[in-house]
Every structure is written in structure tokens, then in C-alpha cells.
Chain A
Amino acid sequence: GAVVSQHPSRVICKSGTSVKIECRSLDFQATTMFWYRQFPKQSLMLMATSNEGSKATYEQGVEKDKFLINHASLTLSTLTVTSAHPEDSSFYICSARDGSGGDTDTQYFGPGTRLTVL
């Protein structure tokens, strides 16, 4: 099946620094990628939707200047948490939708990146 990877798997950083998380589709072209935050035992909160070559669409309440998303190619999207603070500590998950023309509803999820801001 389709595989989505994330890097790094975990990161610890100091407050005020920026952290970049990569999301890659390994064996398919992802025209659309999604970024989520997962809170313990809760639903995934959609942060933004990114389409290759265009600006990301952010959900209400998500600061676009704080969570920078770049979808530069059909296999790579990046989320940069700028000037991270302890409240940004969370589990960030990306998913990718296969743009090959098959089941357009299917999203393939990445393993997640655990961010801890000290």
C-alpha cells in the first residue's frame, strides 16, 4: 500500500526556535497533503490543507505565520513551526491524498512527529 513518511520522528527544541517537519509520499504523487495535530485520546485536528504549487488553506484558528506550510513538489510537504513555544508541543501528523486518479477520498497517514518545546 501507499506509504507516507515523516521526518524527524521526534524533536526537542528550545522555546523561540523554529522546527521543520517533512512529510513525504514514498510511492505515489500526492497532489494534496494535510497537516493535523493530535491531542491525547482525541480526534485529529486539521490544521491546514496544502496543494502542490499553491498556498496552503488554513483552518480557522490556525496561525498561518506561525505554522508555515510548503508543498513544493508532488512528494514533499513541510511544516515549519516558527518561534515554537511549550504550548506548541504536540504530535503532528501528515496525510497525503493520491492524485493518480484512483480513490480520491483515501488519505494515507504518516507516522507522526512528536514535538517537545522546552
Chain B
Amino acid sequence: GQNIDQPTEMTATEGAIVQINCTYQTSGFNGLFWYQQHAGEAPTFLSYNVLDGLEEKGRFSSFLSRSKGYSYLLLKELQMKDSASYLCAVMDSNYQLIWGAGTKLIIKP
């Protein structure tokens, strides 16, 4: 079956760095998405990786290894507003999105 795993919850300190991992097993691969979702709001697009490697976008970076079925989202210089759920989603060979359950990130002062 298709599966995406990411930690349920993580805690980090303001100003620090945190890495949220996502591993996947899907039938085919047409890209991996990371979204940020604040409570009560729609998910906000953060990144899309389809090739191996690291993509950096400001304080956020996303890494993909297709051979390992693995991605991570790296958040630097954490701010309190980064407290949110982070969703990993993979588009499979049928262009369907397979969603992880989300990682709730708690930032402490």
C-alpha cells in the first residue's frame, strides 16, 4: 500500500533549527510537496521537489532523495509564527496526492 510517515509532533526553541523528516512508499513518484498549515487556515505551499537534492528558499529548505524515499524540511532561525502543522504529500504515478498525517511543530521562547 501507499504510505507516508512523518513525526506527529516536534518541539524546538525560537532561533534554533529544526528538521522535519518524511519517508514515503508510493506507487510511482511525480513530486513531493511540503505545506504549512496554521490552525483554522488553509495549507500554504512551501516547496515542491521532483529531483534529488536540496532546494533553499529563505529560511526554509527542502531535501529529496528519491532512491531512499525520503525528504526533509529544514527550518532555520525559528520564529514563534512557525508554530504550525507541516504536511508532506507525494504525487503518485496517477497524479493523486498521498498525504502524511502532518507534523505539529511547537516553538518555545
* A interface residues, Cβ below 8 angstroms from B: 1, 9-10, 34, 36, 41-46, 93, 105-112, 114
Contact = CB atoms under 8 A, between A and B. Distances in A.
User: Of B35, B43, B95, B98, which is in contact with the most chain A CB atoms at under 10 Å from its CB?
Assistant: B43
A104 to B, nearest CB: 9
B54 interface: no
B11 interface: no
Contact of A43 (B40, B42, B98): B42
Nearest to B47: A41
State the majority secondary structure of interface residues on B.
Answer: strand
A43 B43 contact: yes
B99 interface: yes
A105 B39 contact: yes
Contact of A10 (B40, B89, B95, B97): B95
Chain B: interface size category = 20 to 34
Nearest to A45: B42
Contacts of A106: 85, 101-102
B42 A112 contact: no
Interface of B: 35, 37, 39-40, 42-45, 48, 85, 87, 89, 94-99, 101-102
Nearest to A106: B102
B95 A41 contact: no
A10 B91 CA distance: 14
30 contacts: A1-B101, A9-B94, A9-B96, A10-B94, A10-B95, A36-B42, A41-B45, A41-B48, A42-B45, A43-B35, A43-B43, A43-B44, A43-B45, A44-B42, A44-B45, A45-B42, A93-B97, A105-B40, A105-B85, A106-B101, A107-B37, A109-B89, A109-B97, A110-B97, A111-B96, A111-B97, A111-B98, A111-B99, A112-B95, A114-B95
